[in-house]
Amino acid sequence: MAAAEKALWFIESHYSEDLSLRRIAEVAGVSPFHLARLFQAMTGCSVVRYLRARRMTEAAHRLAGGAPDILAVALASGYGSHEAFTRAFGDQFGLSPASVRERGSVAGLALVEPWRTADGVQVTLDEPRLAHDGIRFIAGLGCRYTADTKQGIPAQWQRLYLHHAAALPKRHTAFGVCCNSDDEGSFEYIAGVDVPGFGGLDPALSTLRLPAREYVVATHHGHISDIRRTWQTFVGDWLPRSGLQVADAPEFEKYGADFDDTTGIGDVEIWLPLQT
């Protein structure tokens, strides 16, 4: 059973307990950082957000079925007070627990049912390679995303080239760097290029120094819109079988010389940092 499936099973069978990312990762047999990457790649949602949404969905079903005691539902959902539960329930559905119980229906609520691995999501992956990369200086535009908002990344690249092209080196390689992630699934994405150094740059640009380190690298072929499937196969299938341990450090997509940013077609390399 894959680590993500173990995590899903554990959440489904223990969601009323006081769960943390660390505890779920221990059951899944991987580090919290690796589970966060894997779960996001497989489901498009962070572990913490999925756990919260599943708790609220099950609570909504119970309340719509006429559960007489809202506090009992709150406690069974992993919340220690009526107030904390009501606040989380409202954040999820825009309604109070009492109102859902009164109307006796979950119709119209944004329920999150148990996630199951979809068939056919994997792609044929070229055998990933180990590589050493030296120090890199990345400059570009940074923005924070979640799984629900990352569709804004292509527009971020457009803003970079529309408004900052003059400040970028004429010869460069494009990098999409993911860094500074949190348990909620939020992460910073820097759409940028490699530069000789940070001196004299436009202060509006975000900068990031990547230290020299070891990586494992997979290559995505085809249209950029399908790169998630390559990520899923790489992180969800190949990586767990490889025995390699991913480091808690920035990962990036490196756009090849043949990548056409007009058509979105061309090779893109996925670089994952390794523990040493």
CA 10 to chain centre: 20
How many Å apart are CA 14 and CA 56, to the nearest integer?
14
Is residue 181 classed as helix, strand or coil in its secondary structure? coil
Q: How many CB atoms lie within 10 A of CB 32?
A: 18
70-74, 88-92, 227-231: least confidently modelled range: 227-231
Predicted local confidence at residue 8, as pLDDT: 87
Beta strands 206-210 and 174-179 are unpaired
**Against a cut of 0.75, is the pTM above it?**
no
Q: Which residues contact 76 (CB under 8 A, 6 or more apart)?
A: 16, 59, 62
How many Å apart are CA 206 and CA 33, to the nearest integer?
24
In tens, the pLDDT along 162-209 reads 788 888 888 789 999 999 988 888 999 999 999 999 998 889 899 999
Across the chain, mean pLDDT equals: 89
Buried/exposed code over 65-95 (b: 16+ C-beta within 10 A; e: otherwise): eebeebeebbebbbbeeeeebbebbeebbeb
Domains of the chain: 3-103 (1.10.10.60), 129-273 (3.20.80.10)
Task: Give yes or no for residue 14 having a pLDDT over 60.
Answer: yes
CA 80 to chain centre: 28
In tens, the pLDDT along 84-132 reads 999 999 999 999 999 999 999 999 999 988 876 554 567 899 999 999 9
